[in-house]
Amino acid sequence: MEKRRDEEEEEEENKYVKELKRKDLAFSCMLNTEVGAVLAVIRRPSLSDTNPQFFPPHEDNFDTSLLHSLKSLRTLIFNPQQEWRTMDPSIYLAPFLDVVQSDDVPATATGVALSAIIKILKLEIFDERTPGARDTVNSIVTGITTCRLERTDPVSEDGILMKILIILTELMKKRASILLTDHAVCTIVNTCFQVVQQSAIRGDLLQRGARQTMAELIQTIFSRFPEIIKDRDNDFQDPDIDNEMESGYGVRSTIDIFSFLCSLLNAVEVVEMEGSQVQTADEDVQLFALVLINSAIQLSGDEIGKQPMILTMIEDDLFHSLIHFGMCSSPLVLSMISSTVLNIYNFLRRFIRLQLESFFTFVSFRAATHGSSSLQLKEVALESVINFCRQPTFVFEVYINYDCNIIFRDVFEDIGRLLCKHAFPSGTSLSTLQIQAFEGLVIMIHNIADHVDGEDVPSSSGPYPVEITEYRPFWDENFKANDSENWVDRARMRKAQKRKLKIAGNHFNRDEKKGLDYLKISHLVPDPPDPSPLAYFFRYTPELDKNMIGDYLGSPDDLNLQVLKEFTETFDFSGMILDNALRTYLETFRLPGESQKIQRILETFSERFYDQQASEIFVCKDAVFILCYSLIMLNTDQHNPQVKKKMTEEEFIRNNRAINGGKDLPREYLSELFQSILNNAITVFGQSGQPVEMTQSRWIELINRSRNSEPFIKCDFDHRIGRDMFAFIAGPTVAALSSIFEHSEEDDILQECMEGLVSVARIAQFGLEDTLDELLASFCKFTTLLNPYASAEETLYAFSNDTKARMATLAVFTIANNFGHSIKGGWRNIVDCLLKLKRLKLLPQSVVEPDFASTSSSDLQQVHPRSDSLPLCESSFGSNLHCSSAMGRLLQFLSLETGEESIFGGNEFERNLKIIQQCRIGNIFSNSSKLPDDALPNLGRSLIFAAAGKGQKFSTAIEEEETVGFCWDLLISIVLVNIHRFLIFWPYFHDYLLAVAQFPLFSPVPFVEKAMLGLFKICLKVLSSYQSDKLLEECIFKSINLMWKIDKEVLDTCCEYITQSVSKILFEYPANLQTQLGWKSVLQLLSITGRHPDTYDQAVETLIMLMSDGFHVSRSNYPFCVDCAFGFVALKNSPLEKNLKLLDLLADSVNLLIRWHRNGYSDPGNLSIACTSISSFDDTSKFSPFNFSMNLFIKLGEALRKTSLARREEIRNRAIVALQRSFTLAEGLEFTSACCINCFNLVIFAMVDDLHEKMVEYSRRDNLEREVRSMEGTLKIAMELLTDVFLQFLIPLTENPGFRTFWLGVLRRMDTCMKADLGVYGETTLQDVIPDLLRKMITIMKEKQILVPKEGEDLWEITYIQIQWIAPLLKDELFPDEDF
């Protein structure tokens, strides 16, 4: 095996050797051919050299060394021992280079020699490891760049130049090019550019080739730049030292080349204009230079920023040129400039923070908005802004770096407003500029939305907005993104401070004191005030009144002087001459007119300028101060039209003699100042709002600031800041989207509108509910469903024939499905659209007739306690997966116009139904359980208000009834789905019902009727299972009571349904009624609705069932059962049998009282109800179990007493019998003497008095003898009841201290009945009964030694006297031995 492997290796090695020999032989043949060609051309003139003056001399006249070198090379060619790859390349290249550099050879020979060199380089015979390669490659550069073309005609010269370009390109592409020196590389680039310049007057082919070669050279050189920085950074110490590095070219050549490329931007050309020569920028050279610069930056990447000198060139010279020429360039140049800036941003944005802001301010924004800009220039400027927005982190980083820093302008807001402004349609059709801006706006929205609503975004968000609670320096950028946990909070705080500063600036412009006070209120200035924040406020707050700033800074107060000093220290005058520094200073405010104020300001300025001057021109600050005054005077003299005689330069110089510490300032310096003021006035008294230009002084200040400012902050996206960003452009964005959707008819634009709509909703769900509501309001208008003046037929026609209407409808309901948790007022528009769709009969049947029974009763097994909110992470609303599926249907809307399954198939009505099915309206309500706690009331409010008729117009009463019922059906479906958190949202719903009742034009019909039906459905659902929280029950019954009290007639119109519902509750769920409010409401409604003939039987049977069973009758509901029974018994013409049954049940209910009394606070029928439950009967908390039972007994007695006054005798008499039975059973209640007297006073005495009064009343009417006798008979039974109960409780009664008074009351009523006057109807039969009753009572009292003569008591005496008045015949019988 090893032998075979050795044989294979040997075979491979032999093949390799043969291949090398073959290549060497091929190279030898090629060399032989090229040498022969060169010699042949040298010896004989080319046929193309027709000009005799270019004929070469005879071979004898040639340089013998040139021929010798060629011939010597030929002798080496076929040497069998020759290996070309190990030979010094100069051996076979030098002869050809000699030919190229020779002055005597013809152009043809030079071309053949160049061709030979090209072939040698392409064959790659040598590389960087070949001996002598370093000298060879450098000699090639020297030889080629010094090629002699004296004997070349113009036609041949172009060909030679092309070959030279090819050689230079091939040489730089070879691996051996790393051995070139910096000087050689610079020579190559310079030679190539010379060819570019020469080609301008030659053929187009040469020019294109030269430019292409130049581009390839730059690409080759700068593609190696990262490697150079990595490998040779330590070796390169000082590029100013002439150091030809042994290892080849490096940083120095790239610096020189890049500097050369930057200098090309300043190339000018001389043109003739109106008879004079004017220098203008050479646009062609600028474009060429920008292409090369772009290539250099792209290939070098961020490594170029590691070389300080190149970075300085980019920050200063390059950017200055880009901004300068960008302000006044053609569309093509502006496009290239913008691309260059974008490339710099991508790789070097950490170093160009101020420069980038200036580019947007002075180039992009100005070109896009300036009225004099052409349409093409605006489009280019706008496209450059959009290209920036396409960068993944641009909008976020721009917001953090500029909008959240008071020193910079709000670049992000300006970009957003710019795009919205240009996107907003101004006519019936969209222009290309508007479409372009719209696409850029959508890109920005998508960018924010993708990060704000990303998968890694936490469920909780906020707080929104940020509040400033304490003073923090707002100008100190003391955070770095991603370096600390709270950097986002700091950034948001800085933005909040910046907004407050703008507000303070508005106040300041109107009233200085109010503006400064607002700074204190907003915690932007400490108390007592600090000069630093005030100085930065005046320095960087935009649109401040410059007049007021100047007046404040010039004031003599101590604080003002400190602010002036701090204000001046915000300027950096390094590198500026005096007039430029003064211009920069005075551009920020208006110099006041008062001389003392001017003096203070100029003194402070002079001190700052003197401290920062780089030269030693001024020996003291006083010299600066005097010269400043002199410059201001010169400025006024030269530029005030009222000054006729202008100051000359000599006069200016003479006026400023000996001001510099007794010496003169340099004449050249003063002359330069004079010319500068003469040509460019200082705006000493400028007004606010003037356009700002990028002057030389402003650029110097910018560079000075950039040295001290924080670098551009790179940061990751944060959803909180993303939300804040969009909040500033939300209004214009929604307006632009709506307007574009309205005016556009192109499918692509409409689809982009829909995509933008979704992205806006994705962002707005994070605390921008108003924006989402505005968006819905705008797009609901496009559905054509909200036109109040259109008939149903017109609306249906418009909806069916308008694609945008259907798209808008689908979009609106898709947003409702996915972002309902963030919708507030927008639900009103959605509900209005929903109602219109119902009237058009376009809603699915499942929505029109929801199945309430489908709701599982398991939802009610446990009602969750109150919570602040449902976690958003448990909701599908706003989730990417849910949104993508739903929005997929929306965004494919336009693509569904063809195909068998198209939603546009079938007739018009079917097409509309398919579209509405895509809306999935039912999911809005069936999935409402996923809405947060604070979002559900918003949907409920819209449905309740819509049901109340707010914003609705009904053509017929039937339509109104159907609409109201539909709204309540939807509301019920929501409640049933969310029954597990009923207590969280229903109090809001109840408040909305209260608000509805207070609407000015509210009509309770049919709202209350539908409300009662719906509320009882909810009530049945609530009571269908046991609820641990009693508030749930109270909430629903409060709403039920509110509704029927608004319109009591509803109890008649809905009596059957209410009775059925109440009966179901009492039959099936009585154990789940836990509150007195619930029992009171149920029994009260049962009593009221049961009065109707159609519901009486069911209602009475329900009550009889409840009281007969007795298990669910408790102390808390007992009074209401009594009231309900009395209500039925008191009805006229009600069945006697049922009434008698109810009276018997009332009497038997005393047994319940006895049991409760004996068990204390425990209710046998309902153990869960404490006696302290809420009740409208009595405050039971103050009663003992005995007192409470006594009160319930009195409640029963009063009901029976009232029943004893009924019109029908049978009921009256049965009521008294029931009362007697009640008192008989009541012995188990262990009445005290006081309770007994209370019962007599409240029940028996009152009953007797009422019956007597009723009897007397009847006796005074005609033809009522039967009624009188009937009432007389009832009164007789009542008196017998009085007697029996008196004797029953005689002992406890006599124990009461008030028995004497009580006994007199009994006797008085006996006397009243005894002497009753029936008028024309004759004597009363009571006269026969009363004596017997008196005899019975007195006899028993005497037997029990109660009515006997006693010392100190007059009971015996007063009874004797009363008997004499009542029944004198009884006196002797009852008091035989008494003789008074």
- Just list the catalytic residues: 594
Which string of b and e fits 377-399 if b means at least 16 CB within 10 Å?
Answer: bbbbbbbbbbbbbebeebbbbbb
Calpha distance 636→1252 (Å, rounded): 116
User: Could you tell me if 778 and 832 are in contact, meaning their C-beta atoms sit under 8 angstroms apart?
Assistant: no
- Angle formed by the axes of helices 1136-1148 and 1118-1129, nearest 10°: 150
Place of tokens 């209910």: 1149
Sign of the Cα torsion 693, 697, 703, 707 reads negative
**CB-hemisphere CA count at 13 Å for 1150?**
23
**CA 1207, CA 1142: separation in Å to the nearest integer?**
17
Spatial CA neighbour of 1276 closest among 1214, 1213, 1206: 1213
Supply 1150's token pair: 């005393």
d(CA 930, CA 873): 10
Looking up tokens 């909430």 gives 1035
How many CB atoms neighbour CB 127 within 10 A? 14
SS3 track for 515-554: HHHHHHHCCCCCCCCCHHHHHHHHHHCCCCCHHHHHHHHC
* Distance between CA atoms of residues 682 and 696, nearest Å: 14
DSSP 1232: -
| Run of H or E residues at 114 | helix 107-123
**Alpha-carbon dihedral sign for residues 201, 205, 206, 207:** positive
For residue 663, the cross-strand partners are 660
Q: Return the structure tokens found at 700.
A: 């110097």
Q: Return d(Cα 356, Cα 325) in angstroms, integer.
A: 15
**Would you give the end-to-end CA distance of the chain in angstroms?**
162
CA distances (Å), origin 635, targets 177, 610, 640, 1179? 59, 21, 8, 93
As a whole number of angstroms, the distance between CA 1246 and CA 1240 comes to 8
For the CA atoms of 1147, 1150, 1151, 1152, the dihedral, rounded to the nearest 10 degrees, stands at: 120
DSSP secondary structure string, 1068-1101? H-GGG--SHHHHHHHHHHHHHHTTSHHHHHHHHH
Q: How far apart are CA 211 and CA 195, in angstroms?
A: 9
Residues in the chain, overall count: 1380
Which helix (H) or strand (E) segment holds residue 268: the answer is: strand 268-273
How many Cβ atoms from other residues are within 10 Å of residue 515's Cβ? 21
**Position of tokens 């209602």?**
1099
How far is residue 336's CA from residue 363's CA, in Å, rounded to a whole number?
13
Query: 């700068």: which residue's tokens?
Result: 222
Q: How many Cα atoms are found within 13 Å in the side-chain-facing hemisphere of 430?
A: 24
Question: Cα(1353)–Cα(1145) distance, rounded to whole angstroms?
Answer: 44
Report how far residue 743's alpha carbon sits from residue 369's, in angstroms, rounded to the nearest whole number: 22
Quick one: how many helices (H) and strands (E) in the chain? 63, 2
Which DSSP string corresponds to 211-222?
A: HHHHHHHHHHHH
Residue of 975, 958, 815 lying closest to 887 (CA atoms): 815
